[in-house]
Structure 1
Amino acid sequence: MADLRKLRTQREIQQALADLLLKKTFSKITVTDIVNKALINRNTFYLHYRDKYDLVEQIMMTMVDQSSFSINEFNTTPFYFLRSISNETSDLGHQVINRQRADSEFQEVVLKTILKLVMTDADSSNSQIWFTFGKISAIMAWNNQHGYYYDIIQDADQLQQIFDTEEFPNLTE
């Protein structure tokens, strides 16, 4: 049985990060901010996480583990995969995602975590996975260039269509 103190401390750290993510962008949050919000010692934080990126990675891994969508389906329908995880997220999770949408550092840690999860479940020599991430990165960069015209969750159908057809829509019409 897991140590209840350890679980409680991890929950407090995760809640502190979530609260901060509602107020500041991820790129502006420091470990000092997190430990001050969680009312813990800095060393306690480092007993549980390497840094703030590891903290987000652990939260994401838990979310994916609890999701009903298979990580194997990511390769063919990545935007539906992301929407599925979001749909199973709490109201707080939705608020955090909406607040952090434009923070490229947050997007990067999320994509790296998903890549890590996919690579753990797949053969790393499978070049299709790398092309999938390349296409996602291109679509996200295009979307960023157009002021986040498509919401990654609400517009998953349109983003998945771009992924499938490999054609960007003309947004000037």
Structure 2
Amino acid sequence: MADLRKLRTQREIQQALTDLLLEKPFSKISVTDIVNRALINRNTFYLHYRDKFDLVEQMMITMIDQSGFSIHEFNTTPFYFLRSILNETSDLGRQIIAHQRADNEFQKVVLAAILQLVTADANSSNDQVWFVFGKISAIMAWNNRHNHRYDLIQDADQFQQISDTEKFPD
């Protein structure tokens, strides 16, 4: 049985970050902000997480792992895979994603968590995963450069078409 204090502390840290993500961009949140909100010592934070990026990655990995999504779906239709994850998330999760939409640092850490999961899958071809991930990164960067022209949930068909055709719309 896991140490209840450890689980409680991790829950407090995650809740603190969740609250902060609804208030300000991820890039503006510091570990100091998180520990102050969680009412813990900075050293306690570092007993559980390397940094704020590790914290978000661990939260995302847990969420995706619990969802049971197919890695094959990521390799064949990555934007439908991402939309499925977003659709499965809670209302709170959707609020955070909406609030963090313009924060490139947040997008990078979320994509890193997804990459970590799909490359860890023993049945997936790492070469294919890397190429798919590269496409996703390029398409998301293009979308950011165009002031978030498309929304990942509402416009997954458009994103998937860009991925499939390897052509950006005019």
Query: Normalised by the size of structure 2, how large is the TM-score?
Result: 0.94
Secondary structure in 1 aligned to 2:23? coil
| Partners of 2:32 and 2:42 within 8 A in 1 | yes
How far apart are the structure 2 equivalents of 1:9 and 1:124?
Answer: 34
Could you tell me how far apart the structure 1 residues matched to 2:61 and 2:137 are? Answer: 20
Aligned to 1:93: 93
In structure 1, the partner of 2:131 is 131
Q: Unpaired runs of 5+ in structure 1? A: none
Secondary structure of the 1:154 match is coil
Query: What is the letter of the counterpart of residue 154 of structure 2?
Result: Q
Shift of 1:45: 0.7
Deviation digits for residues 110-133 of structure 1 (CA, Å, limit 9, x no counterpart): 111111111111478732222111
Calculate the aligned-residue CA RMSD, in Å. 1.5
Q: Structure 1: how far apart are the matches of 2:104 and 2:122?
A: 26
What amino acid does structure 1 have at the position aligned with 2:119? M
* Runs of 5+ consecutive residues of structure 2 not aligned to the other structure: none
Q: Which residue of 2 aligns with 1:62?
A: 62
Q: How many residues align?
A: 170
Distance 2:37 2:115 in 1: 30
SS of 2:15's partner is: helix
Mapping of residues 4-153 of structure 1, within 5 Å: 4-122=4-122, 126-153=126-153
Which secondary structure state, in structure 2, belongs to the residue aligned with residue 19 of structure 1?
helix
2:169 partner SS: coil
Contact residue 139 and residue 163 of structure 1 kept, 8 A:
yes
Q: Give per-residue Cα distances to partners, 1:68-110, cap 9 Å, x unaligned.
A: 3212321111111111111111111001000111111111111
